[in-house]
Amino acid sequence: MNKQTIRDVSWQGKRALVRVDFNVPIQKGVVGDDTRIRAAIPTIKYLVDHGASVVLMSHLGRPKNTVVEDLRLKPVADHLSSLMGISVQATPAVAGAEARVAAMSLTPGHVLLLENTRFDAREEANDESLAREYAALADVFVNDAFGAAHRAHASTEGVARYLPAVAGFLMERELDALAGTLEHPERPFITIIGGAKISDKIGVIENLLTKVDALLIGGGMANTFLLAQGHAMGDSLVEVSSIELAKRMIELAAQRGTKLLLPTDAVVADTFAPDATTRIVPITGVTSGWRILDIGPDTRIAYAHEIARAKTVIWNGPMGVFEMPAFATGTRAVAQALADSQAKSVIGGGDSVAAIEQMGLADKVSHISTGGGASLELLEGRVLPGVAALRDR
């Protein structure tokens, strides 16, 4: 990573403004999954241990530029306090005079959490006045919110115009794992792409076809590729508008010499339901009244074999409707193959992350990304505004 990090700053007596991603589930004032909060602790602890006072800011949910009581960050401050064993103050102010008074009263080693950035209409507009108000709170800006780095908001990009801006440890890890893997993969380098639609991930597929040795496709998007090859898909989900796009991707793979693997068999069902009647059929045997909801056993074996010989793997998207146990076997097989592999394995995207965590295999892979949309845009080869705003080394 060619960006400066918090290691490049002398923090004694300085005030750090840290953008974190505390967009976590809260029910009745209690934090549910605290993975994102825990992910930010190494950065906060480093700053505190090196003599800084810390002002944290984050969004939570989609309050649509107004105050929503259930989306206040006080429960997050309380939860962070218990995790770190220190008192984390919370202020009801997003920015402005009240926030400035709270920030200026901090002494080294103390932590303050500002209110939900999206309560202020200027945040998502990347308004200059809000960015300046944020900048008035600290000496240095630290972006540790990879999950929001693809947004050009006042708290991710705007404030970096007015303060020296460096990466936190989570941001550094994400960029090294994703961007670093794309730039310098050990080969064979393969990518597994799943999910419902080609149109959601066309940029990812196009970019990766120029970089990987093999591309394995599953999920609903595979149906459109198979239809483009002339296979009947019965009642399966397909994107008719993306058939020509799929043909172009198949041709591009052939031109580049990239191995493109599609399912050769499938688990089909007579209805989209957990208790549907199911069959295993070859791809040539999908008939009217039946729909593909998972990859079949031959495809699982072929994909696992490809994973086993790889040195670098990026996985984004499930192989089927993994939320229903009857159609989770393909996704589980890919997750298990990754867990058994010696390859560097990077998991990006909400559904594939949820799947590997649900299957208890999260600790068996090299890196799990905290940023769904940001991960996708990085895999597409896009420049993330929140990353571009950081100081180069």
Catalytic positions are: 36, 197, 350, 373
Closest by CA position to 20, among listed 36, 1, 9, 42: 36
Residues near 215 by Cβ (< 8 Å), separated by ≥ 6? 190, 191, 193, 205, 208, 209, 253, 258, 259, 260, 261
Contact between residue 168 and residue 157 where contact means Cβ atoms under 8 Å apart: no
Q: What is the C-alpha end-to-end distance of the chain, expressed in Å?
A: 9
- The amino acid sitting at 14 is K
Three-state DSSP string of 46-112: HHHHCCCEEEEECCCCCCCCCCCHHHCCHHHHHHHHHHHCCCEEECCCCCHHHHHHHHHCCCCCCEE
User: Which stretch of DSSP H or E encloses residue 317?
Assistant: none
CA distances 144 to 274, 289, 389, Å, are 39, 49, 13
- In angstroms, how far apart are the furthest CA atoms of the chain? 70
Do strands 165-167 and 140-143 pair parallel, antiparallel, or not at all (unpaired)? Answer: parallel
Closest by CA position to 19, among listed 162, 130, 165, 122: 165
Three-state secondary-structure class, residue 169: helix
Contact between residue 276 and residue 270 where contact means Cβ atoms under 8 Å apart: yes
**Sheet hosting strand 111-113, strand order edge to edge:** 88-90, 111-113, 53-57, 15-19, 140-143, 165-167
